[in-house]
Amino acid sequence: MNLHLLPTRTAGAAENMAVDFLLLQRYPDAAAPRFRHYEWRGPAFTFGFSQKIAFVRGKLAADLPADLCRRPTGGGIVDHRNDWTYALVIPRGHPLEEARATESYRVVHAALAEALAALGQPVELKAGCAPPPEGADRPPGPGVCFQRAELFDVVNSATGAKVAGAAQKRNKRGLLFQGSIGKSAVGAVDWDEFAARFAAALGRALRAEPQETPWPEFAEGELEGLIEQYSAPEWIEQR
């Protein structure tokens, strides 16, 4: 089995969310885990599928010039202005896709922490109470990611500050894992070297050989249609 490593792309919030979802729903090789790192065209925030738009807007400055989109996964508000963002899809039937949400969260973040530690970063996995179930609303107070670490988030082992968090979505196609590393929470990092080490650690965890893979061809108009859906007020403001 191969872990498909897709090329880095830069896009707006709606397009990034649409691509992540299509990599779960429509990937040609349904049996292959797939991974991508991506960047943002400008300042952007995303927020969890079940979060209330009024709460999100209340947490963000009204005059903040940023791209805003609801994610297909759960979790809180994520500021993407200075982060390293990635998505991992684990296909249906893989042992980790069938594991409990806390276990898949632990395994992916253990691989991430291993890669950062190999580059000299003092990181570890957070121990404590469990995060909310997939898709569940968070309490009104701690709805902004990186303000508080949850179980198996990656934290700075010296200060306890949150370094990396993620959100998950499972459906009949598999598991979508969307994650973010706050660059301000770590020291100087060679991010290209980190990406290679993270992919290697994920490959070991998934028992899959990392393989650079070109972008799949989606059905004509499918991506464009989903970008339009993710850009629409009906998606962003549905709750």
Q: Do residues 146 and 162 make contact, with C-beta atoms less than 8 angstroms apart?
A: yes
State residue 51 phi and psi, 5-degree precision.
-75, 150
Per-residue pLDDT of the chain (239 residues; tens, 9 = 90+): 999 999 999 999 999 999 999 999 999 999 999 999 999 999 999 999 999 999 998 888 776 768 999 999 999 999 999 999 999 999 999 999 999 999 999 999 999 999 999 999 999 998 864 444 444 433 443 365 555 668 999 999 988 999 999 999 999 999 999 999 999 999 899 999 999 999 999 999 999 999 999 999 888 889 999 999 999 999 999 88
Q: Distance between CA 192 and CA 174 in Å, rounded?
A: 28
Q: In this structure, what is the dihedral angle of CA atoms 138, 143, 147, 149, given to the nearest 10 degrees?
A: 20
Annotated active-site residue in 5, 107, 145, 163: 145
Q: In the numeric block, which tokens belong to residue 156?
A: 């700075």
Told to judge if 145 belongs to the known catalytic residues of this protein, a careful annotator would answer yes
Q: Distance between CA 239 and CA 230 in Å, rounded?
A: 14
pTM, 2 dp: 0.89
Each domain of the chain, given as residue ranges in start order, spans: 2-236
Tell me yes or no: is domain 2-236 CATH 3.40.1710.10: no
What type of residue sits at position 221? Answer: G
Given the structure tokens 């947490």, which residue do they identify?
59
Q: Distance between CA 1 and CA 177 in Å, rounded?
A: 19
